[in-house]
Every structure is written in C-alpha cells, then in structure tokens.
Structure 1
C-alpha cells in the first residue's frame, strides 16, 4: 500500500483559553512534536500533509524542520470547518497515494502502533476508525434539556483518529456528500453518509483529544508514566 497522512492542525483552540493547544508545552515540548515523533517512528508512510492556520503555520513549520522527518512534508492552509480543512489536505496529497490516514494533531499521545494498525486494517476493510468504549451513561435530550431516552451503552463507542480510508472511496464520498452537511463531524461519518462500510478497530484511552486545560495535565501525567516505563525497562 502507498499511504499518506493528513495531520489536522488548523483548529482555533477556542476552549483552551485562547492558547494554541498544539504549541503548548507537554513535558517541556510543544504538543505537536509528540505527534511528529510518533509519525517518524511509523513505517510505511510515504508523505505527510499538515493542515495549518495563518497564525500557527510558521511555528509548526519550524517544529517540522527540527523533526527531520524522512518523508516529504507539505503545509497547507485549512478551511472554515474541520471537514473543509481535511479536504484541503487530501487535495495536497500526491496522486500516487492509495490510502489516506487522517489524524487530529490535538491527539498528541497517539502511538506508531495505532497508525500501523489503522493502515493494515484499511487494506482489508477499506475504511476504518479506532474507537474506545463509552463508560458514562448517555442521555438523549430535547432542546429544553429534558431526557428523551437513555441510550444503550453497550452499543456506543467514542470515535478517535487516526482514521484510514481507501483514497478512491474517500474521493467518491467527497463527490457525493456536501462538506457543510451537519452530520459530517469526521471523515468516518462522511464515508458512512456516502454509503461505504466503516470498520472499527480498538483505539486507546490515552489517545484523547486536548480540549480543555484539564486535558493538558492528564497528557503530561501519561507522558511521564511512559518515560518512567522506558527507564524501568532499559
């Protein structure tokens, strides 16, 4: 397989006290550099496209240059929505790319193993996403906040990235489904809406998204545990 990755880094971090969460230090290093480390250790990637915004593109370019990745890297500006940003990144991939990985840069604790599992599963299923079980009880409510139903927890999972898709399926989905459709919250939803089957694979509880300041403290704790584990096994 020939796989390229679109790294989505164009968000505005509106819930992170106006700080760009991708540049906030985690254990002394900008959060995005932990993702770049994972990518550098992932075999089988042919190229990388990073979707940025006008404010963070130079800082991210600097971190990419310092990472000395062995694959070609392209930076492009994102759109008004996440879906539009991903679409922009996909358009910058080389025509030879057969499988497209999509990952949120705001998930800095991703591992090379998860990238590899997503790619391998995509060669079998065509469209895959990692998921984790939902542990809370989920309620469906109406606009006034009244409970309409308690959803069956054993049938619910939380979607993560990296998601991986056959390039031809993804392009066909873009042709069939408007990107401004409210149901398109991730590319798996885009493929679902276009009629393609999407297979789940096990994700990781550590692969959470940085959304609020509390998540930063949790991410640092996980990184410290990982570093301690490496020291113990050395």
Structure 2
C-alpha cells in the first residue's frame, strides 16, 4: 500500500502519460423501451461506436477493454471490426453489479499503462478536451473526474416531503471518464466488493479509502443515455455540433 500512495503525487509530463480505458457497457435497458442503449443508432452509427471513437482518438490512451453483458460480446466484437478500432484489446463479460463489471475490466488491463480511465459506454458525446483534462489531472494527483455544476435547485426529501434545500453552489454532477492510478482503483474496487458497499460510480470506491478525487471541467453535452428522451437529446446535440 505504501508504494501505491507514494505514486499518487508523482507528476507525469504530458508526453509520458499512458492510460488504459475500461468501458462498462453491461447495464440493463429497462428504461429504454426494450432497446439496448449502447447499440441504439445515434446519427448513422451505434451509440457505442461514438463512445469508442472518442477513446480511440486520444493520444494518451493505449488500450481499451469493453465490458458488456455476455450476450453482447459477439455483436460488440463485430462492431469493433466493422469500424476498424485499433486499440480494443479485449471484450470481457460484465458481472452482477457495476462494480463487479468495472473490476472485471480493470483486471484485464495489460499493466503497461499507469492510469486507467473508466468511461460509460452510454456516454457517446465525450469531447477530447474533457477526456484529456481528466487524464492529465489524474496523472498529477492519482484520481480525477469531470464534473458540471447542477442547474436545478436540489432538495432532500423523505416520504415525499422536503427536509432541506441544498446549497447549489456546492453541488456537481459527476461524469465519466473517471481516471485513476491503476493500483489505486484496483485496491478500491476490491475493498468495496469485500465490504459489500453499494456504489453508483467508481469515484465512490476511492473516496471510501479517504482519498480525494480532483474535479475537472466537464461538459453538459457529455450526457449518459439512460432513457429514450436522452437518446433524442443526444441526436439533437449531434446535429447541432455538425452544423456548428
């Protein structure tokens, strides 16, 4: 553990940064009206193709491991061949939870890259700026994630009754990629699973170790597709970007 934490503050020059990417894509599609969100068309290509292309184009990323549901391994493998992605090294089955799935992918990373970026397969509009900022910051401090300020007023409620109005200036929506020093995220995920922690993102696993996660500038366009409405918004944003 001492070696792990001593490396968190070892700064890397940009040209020295090597980062693997793990793409969890094993989520259910219960809110997508029966459609699988990562293979749904967005523009003229599947959602996942957009996601993988953003990672493929990043000069810091050396390898990509995809973690889908078992029944999607073959079609996703075919998708990777059809679109000629060169950095895909493995497609491995997901587990019973997001944490299991991410750890499955992290364990398949070759070890050549010191950093691991975990990016949702259903976030197809990731920009190079958001991606590179998170990677560069993680290279400096060991753990980083993009975030955007929340736009709405957030209230905490119990049984349908408001208990408190939270200070919006202190609230952020966390996006992916969430980027970590490799040994750190492996240790954090294993510990979370051993202790039965229920996590909704990977930063939470690291936070449980008492390690802070640096926030970088995210982008409201970097949305996660969860519902048919999200897919419609992504379509509109994609068309808007093409016209810009």
TM-score (norm 2): 0.89
Pair 1:158 & 2:151 matched: no
Pair 1:52 & 2:68 matched: yes
User: What is aligned with 2:164?
Assistant: 149
Pair 1:131 & 2:147 matched: yes
Cα distance change on mapping 1:51 and 1:175 into 2, 3 Å: closer
1:86 to 102, 110, 119: 102
1:66-105 correspondence to structure 2 within 5 Å: 66-105=82-121
2:221 to 192, 206, 222: 206
User: What is aligned with 2:202?
Assistant: 187
In structure 2, stretches of 5+ residues that fail to align are: 1-16
On the 8 A contact 1:36/1:67 being kept in 2, the answer is no
In structure 1, stretches of 5+ residues that fail to align are: 230-234
What SS does the aligned partner of 1:55 have? helix
1:72 offset after TM fit, Å?
A: 4.4
What SS does the aligned partner of 2:70 have? coil
On the 8 A contact 1:32/1:106 being kept in 2, the answer is yes
What SS does the aligned partner of 1:208 have? coil
TM-score (norm 1): 0.93
What SS does the aligned partner of 1:207 have? coil
Give the Cα–Cα distance (whole angstroms) in 1 for the partners of residues 170 and 127 of structure 2: 26
Give the Cα–Cα distance (whole angstroms) in 2 for the partners of residues 75 and 163 of structure 1: 20
Pair 1:222 & 2:222 matched: no
